[in-house]
Chains A and B, each alone.
Chain A
Amino acid sequence: MSDGATQTLPLRAPPFRLRNYAICLKGILIREGLRFLNQRERFISSLVRPLLWLFIFAAGFRQVLGVSIIPPYKTYVLYEVYITPGLCGMILLFSGMQSSLSMVYDREMGNMRTLLVSPFPRWFLLVSKLLAGVAVSIAQVYVFLGIAWFWGVKPPVIGYLLVLPALFLSGLMLCALGMLLSSLIKQLENFAGIMNFVIFPMYFASPALYPLWRIQESSPLLHKICLANPFTYVVELIRFACYGQIDWVSLAVVLGCTVLFLGGAIIAYDPARGLMIRKQDTGGNG
Chain B
Amino acid sequence: MQHVKTGNGGNGIAALDVSAVSHSYGSKLALDDVSFSIAPASFTVLLGLNGAGKTTLLSLISHLYDTRKGAIRVFGHDIRRSSGEALRRLGIVFQARTLDLDLSVQQNLAYHASLHGIGAGEARERIAAVLDTVDMADRLKDKARSLSGGQMRRIEIARALLHQPPLLLLDEATVGLDIQSRAGILATIRSLVRTHGISVFWATHLIDEIEDSDHVVILRQGKVVADGNVASVVKANRVQTIRDAFSRLNERMAETLP
Contact = CB atoms under 8 A, between A and B. Distances in A.
A195 interface: no
Interface stretch (B77-85, B207-215, B225-233, B241-249): B77-85
B13 A119 contact: no
Contacts of A39: 102
Contacts, number: 184
Given A277-B66, A284-B55, A5 B129 contact: yes
B113 interface: yes
A20 interface: yes
Contacts of B48: 286
B107 A31 contact: yes
A30 B86 CA distance: 26
A6 to B, nearest CB: 7
B203 A1 contact: no
Interface stretch (A46-54, A106-114, A148-156, A230-238): A106-114
Nearest to A26: B114
A200 interface: no
Nearest to A3: B195
A93 to B, nearest CB: 24
Contact of B131 (A4, A7, A26, A27): A4
Nearest to B130: A5
Interface stretch (A8-16, A161-169, A206-214): A8-16
Given A5-B161, A39-B102, A120-B84, A24 B90 contact: no
A267 to B, nearest CB: 12
Interface residues of A, number: 51
B164 interface: yes
A165 B120 CA distance: 30
Nearest to A279: B25
Interface residues of B, number: 78
A119 B128 contact: no
Contacts of B161: 5
B100 A286 contact: no
B135 A27 contact: no
Interface string B49-85: 0111111101100111110000000011000100111
Nearest to A282: B55
Interface string B115-138: 111111000001011111111000
Interface in B199-255: 203, 205
B170 to A, nearest CB: 11
Contacts of A120: 84, 115, 117
13 contacts: A1-B187, A2-B133, A3-B196, A5-B196, A6-B196, A9-B164, A27-B111, A113-B64, A114-B98, A120-B84, A276-B65, A284-B172, A286-B50
**Which 5 interchain pairs have the tightest Cβ spacing?**
A27-B114, A20-B117, A286-B54, A284-B55, A4-B132
Interface of B: 13, 25-26, 48, 50-56, 58-59, 62-66, 75-76, 80, 83-90, 92, 94-100, 102-103, 107, 110-120, 126, 128-135, 159, 161, 163-166, 171-172, 187-188, 191-192, 195-198, 203, 205
